[in-house]
Structure 1
């Protein structure tokens, strides 16, 4: 019988290291295999069973999957460091209105009304688009993690304050998850070691009448206890009267 394992797919820019470290601490006997997947192929990889769970961008087709949004990424514009847009700490969408922009075929921002003048040629990948930005062919709008992933000394990036954010989510097959998948979901959601989804629910809040009756019962019990103490004779010393 093969040893148990869990396969986690992750798209470019996603960072599973933190959760992988926690998994290794809690389940040293269960391998967590990390498998990079293309953004456009991540959802299908989960549906096909190539990976058990995936960190992906939910702009992709997620039919048949359970999806938990984890965080939202800032959207940035990547330009050459000598570009005038790099002079500002942050940008507005309007700052890009007249700028030539590149839209790669693997775009993950999905900004329908994105600013700029989109170049007729669409590079195949974000990496290809980065090369064209460095060559002065235009700006590139991406999630901040992809700008960091493709960092170059001759390029800079600035946040676009009024751009839509780019969510990153955890996806796994819809329905009842396997025990290992459920454990990984719990880690991602911050579930403590040893805790259980099956733990009892917190007791419901008592009504005002229930609180009053409880106080009366407590006072009555305290009175009975005091009476017993008063009726109990104290111990006499060795030289006391008999």
Structure 2
């Protein structure tokens, strides 16, 4: 590769509701010579994009196939119900699934929540997408239960949402093919986990690099201020030198010697 060629980008797939902006910003600051390309896909298509090699890693919704992918859970989202602003549910800050038993609850084909039993009354038809379901809620036909990030993504001025305490929740994770854990993937893992430049796996700290550029070896230990080589350990004692004590007359006496007896007058 010549100096004029741009290196291949690090390709990051992300699903609706996921917001990788913070990590992308840190990547651009830390690795300005390696571009990061974002690929937005529906949640159901993220695993396929990674399997087919269209992306190096992804911010995806759990679960993922752990026989193929490595994954680092990032956070779990609050689940909310989207309703018109004048709906009776808005009188409370939080609701339960039982509070929605008489409501028509939309279950779009791209629903990301794992329901053991669907709440409320089913709609005549399932909307194709969450965005379509939001339009139906605005028309006053029913309500929609989604992760909070999707309620924010498809926000409308005439709609609002409330937390559903006992609804299933959706987890967000960083995932990548286990057989393709490249250096760039490790770099992004370090950024997501909050590692500093010095502690990022597989990279040398800047202090060590700058010393090597100057032709110096990184310091392995502190040097004494008098220029002498510091001792690396205590020398085994072969015999203690007798301690001395000063007598009244100013002479010293050894701990193992007797002083010369005074002359009798």
Report the TM range for the smaller structure's normalisation.
Answer: 0.7 to 0.9
Rounded to whole Å, the distance in 2 between the matches of 1:126 and 1:158 is 17
The answer to whether 1:3 aligns with 2:7 is yes
Is residue 170 of structure 2 the alignment partner of residue 166 of structure 1?
Answer: yes
Q: Is the 8 A contact 1:59 1:108 kept in 2?
A: no
Q: Which residue of 2 aligns with 1:75?
A: 79
Q: Structure 1-normalised TM-score?
A: 0.79
Aligned residues: 208
Counterpart Cα distance in 1 of 2:32 and 2:201: 22
Cα pair 2:97 2:164 within 8 Å, conserved = yes
Equivalent-residue separation in structure 1 for 2:62 and 2:178 (angstroms):
14
Partner of 1:52: 56
Query: Quick check: 1:133 aligned with 2:151?
Result: no
The partner residue of 1:112 within 107, 110, 116 is: 116
Match of 1:65 in 2: 69
Please state if 1:122 is matched with 2:126.
yes
Change (3 A) 1:29 1:171: same
Q: Structure 1 residue 90 and structure 2 residue 94: aligned?
A: yes
Shift of 1:175: 3.0
Does the 8 Å contact 2:108/2:133 carry over to 1?
Answer: yes
TM-score by length of 2: 0.73
Q: Distance in 1 between matches of 2:28 and 2:8?
A: 13
Answer whether contact 2:186 2:201 (CA < 8 A) is retained: no
Aligned to 1:209: none
Partner SS, residue 95 of structure 2: coil
Question: How do 1:1-242 residues align onto structure 2 when only pairs under 5 Å count?
Answer: 1=1, 2-59=6-63, 64-175=68-179, 177-197=181-201
Consecutive unaligned residues of structure 1, counting only runs of 5 or more, are 200-220, 232-242
What is the rounded CA distance, in whole Å, between the counterparts of 1:28 and 1:120 in structure 2? 52
Q: CA deviation at 1:63?
A: 5.2
1:152-198 CA-to-partner distances (Å, cap 9, x unmatched) read: 11101001011222100111001350000111011111222121547
More helix by share: 1
Q: State the distance in 2 between where 1:122 and 1:44 align.
A: 24
Bigger-Rg structure (1/2) = 2
Does structure 1 retain, via aligned residues, the 8 Å contact 2:84–2:138?
yes
